[in-house]
Amino acid sequence: MLDRPRSPEMPSLPLSFDGPLGQKIIEMHVWAVGEGLRGADAETLFDGFCRRLVSAGVPLWRAFAGMKTLHPQWGGYGYTWWRRLNAIQPAQFERGDEYEQGVLNSPIGHLIRLGEARAATASAEPADPWLNLRRRLCGATAQLDFPQLEELAAAGATDYFAEVVRFGADGDPSRGTGVGYSFATDRASGFGDDDIVLLKAVLPVVSLAMMTDAGHTIASGLLGAYLGADAGRRVHAGAVERGSVESIRAVLWYADIRAFTALADTTPGAAVIELVDEVFEALTASLRPRGGQVLKFLGDGMLAIFPFEDAEREETCRRALDAAAEAMREVDRLNAARRAAGQRTAAVDLALHLGEVLYGNVGAVDRLDFTVIGPAVNEAARIEALCEPLGRKVLVSAELAAAVGNGCRLEPLGRHTLRGLRDQREIFALDLG
């Protein structure tokens, strides 16, 4: 049984759940809990919620649910339901001024700022996690005090209700700000009191179910961003035990910025980071469509792999060589643009090798790295060190050259000594012309 102050604009939750409205609230609570326990994704869950609101008699025209996330590329996710489509339109919002300004100027952004202000001035009593806003969009009482409300009114909406259900009220950013919702109707009389009561009563439990999926999405995104797509999936699936490794066959890609120490010594720190980020993006962009996986950035270096089964060996090696050629072209374009802008440039050396490596968890009991180890990794790094003395940008091992055969623009450079290895190795250069 719940009891809240009643106002003309914001009807209170019912004192009893015995009537038809109370039964609808109970049914939606049971459904939302079940969806959360089974791990329903946010898009499916919000779509089901909107459909159930319509079945319950709510004159829903448009609905939106959005939440911020922890990801280096994406600032948030959103899900918009339209009656005319009877379906969800999902969206990812890229970090940047445009996204932040859009949130700032929205009713949901207003509620977020209100919640932050309340949390900052709260006493020992916990802040109310329910923050909501109601606006009539037509008639004498219309209040169009946000750009989005003007757009909705112009499209035919008559009434609007928004609510933010907050999480982490103690200020811990890792727990997120919660979920922001908005609902609009085009019914002439707007939402009824029972419609608003139903929304207010059910949104908290729907939010718990939504955040169950959001937590999974955040973890997946962060693991992928920091470990790589495949390594992140493996760790998220439970591959966390130290020493749990497997033997795989892979093309090894080892890149390094030439003369980086001298560059860093003569360049302001912020400019160095900007240059390194742009170089790494130029290199990584060529890997994404070809199955290459970045395992780690080693200061000014980069280690990536192209795993393969024996039947895919030749095709994988050719894709790795194509990625290397494209990466060097991208670095050249980047350097030309930076040179024209009066900025520092960077030369990149790259080595490709093929071999068997151990892939998995290595490290201390409380600090692991999901990586590859083995003689082939060391050999790739030693081959890269020959780029500058041989005057080439991309060097390839004899093992990889043999795997691709003829027709891949590989020029033999003879046999060379690799640091730490007893026998000389035959080295090839990739023709970038």
Average pLDDT of the chain? 88
Q: How far apart are CA 348 and CA 235, in angstroms?
A: 31
* pLDDT for residue 10 is more than 70: no
Please state the separation of Cα 152 from the chain's center in Å. 29
Q: Which CATH class is domain 241-430?
A: alpha beta
Mention every residue, 6+ apart, whose C-beta is less than 8 A from residue 191. Answer: 58, 59, 159, 161, 183, 185
* Cβ atoms 401, 251 nearer than 8 A: no
Q: What is the pLDDT of residues 227-266, one digit of tens each?
A: 888 888 888 888 888 888 999 999 999 999 998 989 999 9
User: Residue 129: its pLDDT value, please?
Assistant: 56
End-to-end CA distance of the chain: 76
125 by DSSP, 3-state: which? coil
Tokens 């996986």, residue located: 293
Rounded Cα–Cα distance for residues 377 and 250 (Å): 10
Average pLDDT over residues 310-332: 94
In whole angstroms, give the CA distance from residue 279 to residue 337. 12
Res 268: pLDDT = 92
Tell me the CA distances in angstroms from 363 to 113, 159, 224, 357, 360, one per residue in order.
43, 58, 19, 16, 10
CA distance 124 to 296: 45
The string of pLDDT tens digits covering residues 189-206 is 999 999 999 999 999 999
pLDDT at 52 over 50: yes
pLDDT digits (tens, 9 = 90+) for 64-90: 999 888 888 888 899 999 999 888 999
- Region 347-352 average pLDDT: 96
- Write out the DSSP string of 85-110: TTEEEEEEEESSHHHHHHHHTSHHHH
Q: Indicate the CATH number for domain 20-225.
A: 3.30.450.40
Residue 395's pLDDT band, with cuts at 50, 70 and 90, is: very high
Residue 131 has pLDDT above 90, yes or no: no
Backbone angles phi, psi at 253, to 5 degrees: -120, 115
Question: What is the distance between the alpha carbons of residues 177 and 210, in angstroms, rounded to a whole number?
Answer: 13
Average pLDDT over residues 332-340: 96
- pLDDT digits 0-9 by tens, 214-237: 888 888 888 888 888 888 888 888
Check if the beta carbon of residue 191 is closer than 8 Å to that of residue 161: yes
Same CATH fold assignment for domains 20-225 and 241-430? no
**DSSP calls for 158-185:** -EEEEEEE---TT--GGG---EEEEEEE
Can you give the pLDDT at residue 74? 84
Residues of the chain with pLDDT > 90, as a percent, come to 62
Among 112-121, 149-158, 191-200, 340-349, where is mean pLDDT lowest? 112-121
Domain boundary assignment for the chain: 20-225, 241-430
pTM (2 d.p.): 0.78
